[in-house]
Amino acid sequence: MYAPPLFRRPVPPLSRRRGGVLALVTGLVLSLLAFVPSTPASAAPSLLSQGRTVTASSQENGGTPAGSAVDGDNGTRWASAFADPQWIKVDLGAAASVSQIVLRWEAAYATGYRIEFSSDNSNWNTAYSTTTGPGGTETLSVSGTARYVRLTGTARATGYGYSLWEFQVFGTTNGGGDPQIPGGGDLGPNVLVFDPSTPNIQGKVDEIFKKQESAQFGTDRYALMFKPGTYSNINAQIGFYTSIAGLGLKPDDTTFNGDVTVDAGWFNGNATQNFWRSAENLALNPVNGTNRWAVSQAAPFRRMHVKGGLNLAPNGYGWASGGYIADSKIDGQVGPYSQQQWYTRDSSIGSWGNGVWNMTFSGVEGAPAQSFPEPPYTTLNNTPVSREKPFLYLDGNTYKVFVPAKRTNARGVSWNGTPQGESIPLSQFYVVKPGATAQTINAAVRQGLHLLFTPGIYHVNEPIEINRANTVALGLGLATIIPDNGVTAIKVGDVDGVKLAGLLVDAGTQNSSVLVQVGPDGASADHSANPTSLQDVFVRVGGAGAGKATTGMVVNSDDTIIDHTWLWRADHGDGVGWETNRSDYGLRVNGDDVLATGLFVEHFNKYDVQWYGENGKTIFFQNEKAYDAPNQAAVQNGSIKGFAAYKVADSVTTHEGWGMGSYCYYNVDPTIRQEHGFQAPVKPGVKFHDLLVVSLGGQGQYEHVINSTGAPTSGTSTIPSQVVSFP
């Protein structure tokens, strides 16, 4: 977004329902492969388990030890106690590419069991499961990389325990599969870790800010990390591609008697280009009682405790273009002042100062009451579903990543009392550093590691593929991924619980059909219990240089949570022009039950958002249409003048949105007319609340707000046209 000085799959898929045939088919499925099939190894699969170290949850008696299941003798067996569940586990000695499991059951077999893989004997992933095991000799095709392979029996066929003549694991060792990739390690040179005794903290922070203050399209990336403790006389000014965060489990573990400041002196008091930075997991005692955080898009303020007020405007109250707060407590007043729009989620505030066009709140204690359009407050008491962003912290001297639990109907911060979630040691992460290839990153995921991207820029010549459930891929310091050769940068499988967070994806010079894809085409699995989430995942086409992509992000998986994204086709910078950084679509949602909280999508050549899935929800949407349309013909959509910013497909029967705005600034041809900002079928289940469209300084005009509803914009006064409810 840049507030101008004037004003201060090609065919839509059929809806995929979970009932009927899909439920029947799901009931017949016996297994779920949690791993991408590996590239076939050059060596033939070998028996890897025989003679290896093996342990079990129990044994029936002294004559049925666990080792009998891997001794190669079909006359000896392991048998368990007569209870559920029971397990047997083999250590292969090193990571291997596992392709087949053979179970030779005695009469006491399992009807229900699962095969699980692990790289570290701690975190397990299901490679196969069934509830209708037939007994006898079962040969199972599986795929994945593991050192430890475990069979866990969950339902016995008889009154006895589980009994195996042989538990055989086939595959190839590292000579024919992925190389073993170590987890953990140092965080690289661009993660600066401070403790209260570190000398000259202010000088080092100032040095980084001097480099990054105006480096809007620069190549340096930094993360400033502060160990738990108290820091006095600090004013950490935060520039581009800089993240600042505390390393405690809670914000109050790391306290600044000072400020974390974003201002706009570099841009003459205009904060509308203060992008790509973040503050997380700190407590602040501001020096003058109020901390300044004057930002616009892609600048999250998460898990913060401000023991005072928060000013969201630059010094002098110049232009500012909206932002995002989540899981934060501001004891005093939040003053947005000149901010055009803002979204706050699952937080606690003392009070809120004012509103310009669109101030939206969900799950915020102390939020102003619902009052749109005057004042322009959209307030939901709770957030339907949310999961806070994973974060790095120190447990003693050990780095871990905390993954907060999913919340339903959340209100207020997640960190009162004992934080709910999972701690994952850094040793279970591949610490990715600049120069790493997609091949190595993908091998690490197959091996069972999570991903921690250190600050830097990563070129990939094949997609980063995350097909293992519950994988965390966390970026520090706006880690940036650039796809080469027209590939998709990131692909997530149709699996449970993947967490993508803190990543910027930059389009490459060769057109990519999609930059970020969540779920394959036709994805249909139910992830309602454990959804995939995208948090602070940003997409950029142009600006840092020439780039093209047909669509920025596609979400095919059901139940996905999109929590704060900015998908941006650049309107300024390098490589910018109507065809130079061509990108027709920002976001396409095909999955059902997808929720977007804090959706910022701007300047795409055609539709900014297309929504084909059922039961979608968006809480807060901010959009500008592409500035650089050369004429009316360039944006003509058949008989419709212009492409809607947010279009719900005609096939959709249920959809809901709250607090949504679209703006136009057609400065190349101010005569362009935009039929509407929003387009949706008129059906009882399709509902919108608190919509607005704005013509910035009269550079182009909207004829309606949604469909043919809502007054036209007119003149040069930049006054929004609003619709309180639709239909």
Measured in whole angstroms, the distance separating CA 388 from the mean position of its chain's CA atoms is 10
Fill in the DSSP letter of residue 266.
Answer: G
Integer Cα distance of 64 and 80 in angstroms? 8
CA 263, 265, 270, 275 torsion: positive or negative?
A: negative
Element (H, E) at 635: helix 632-635
Locus of tokens 């661009």: 190
Element (H, E) at 25: helix 20-28
Q: Between the CA of residue 152 and those of 82, 110, 162, 612, what are the distances in Å?
A: 14, 9, 10, 40
Q: What is the CA radius of gyration of the chain?
A: 27
Does residue 465 have an active-site annotation? no
CA dihedral 606, 609, 611, 616 (to 10 degrees): -170
Which one, of 496, 570, 579, 507, lies nearest residue 533 by Cα?
496
Integer Cα distance of 487 and 510 in angstroms? 9
Contact indicator for 104, 74 with CB cutoff of 8 Å: yes
With b for 16 or more beta-carbon neighbours within 10 A and e for fewer, the 607-632 pattern comes to bbbbbbbbbbbbbbbbbbbbbbbeeb
DSSP 111-171: EEEEEEEESSSSS-EEEEEES----SEEEEEEEEEEEEEEEEEEEESSSS--EEEEEEEEE
Locus of tokens 């006898």: 136
In the numeric block, which tokens belong to residue 697?
Answer: 């300084």
**Catalytic pick from 624, 656, 675, 703?**
624
Fill in the DSSP letter of residue 293.
Answer: B
Element (H, E) at 24: helix 20-28
On the 0-12 / 13-18 / 19+ scale of CB atoms within 10 A, 707 is middle
Integer Cα distance of 247 and 245 in angstroms? 7
Which one, of 692, 625, 687, 701, lies nearest residue 660 by Cα?
692
Contact indicator for 194, 213 with CB cutoff of 8 Å: no
Catalytic sites, residue numbers: 624
